[in-house]
Amino acid sequence: MSVESDQPKKVAKLDTSNITTEGEESHDFDVETQKALEDIDACQNEIDALNEKASEEILKVEQRYNKLRKPFYEKRNELIKRMPNFWVTAVSLYT
Separation between Cα atoms, residue 55 and residue 48, nearest integer Å:
10
pTM, two decimals, is 0.54
Positive or negative torsion for Cα 18, 24, 28, 32:
positive
pLDDT, tens digit, 9 for 90 and up, residues 31-86: 999 999 999 999 999 999 999 999 999 999 999 999 999 999 999 999 999 999 99
Closest CA to 28 of 37, 36, 19: 19
How far apart (Å, rounded) are the C-alpha atoms in residues 68 and 77? Answer: 16
How far apart, in whole angstroms, are the C-alpha atoms of residue 81 and residue 78? 5
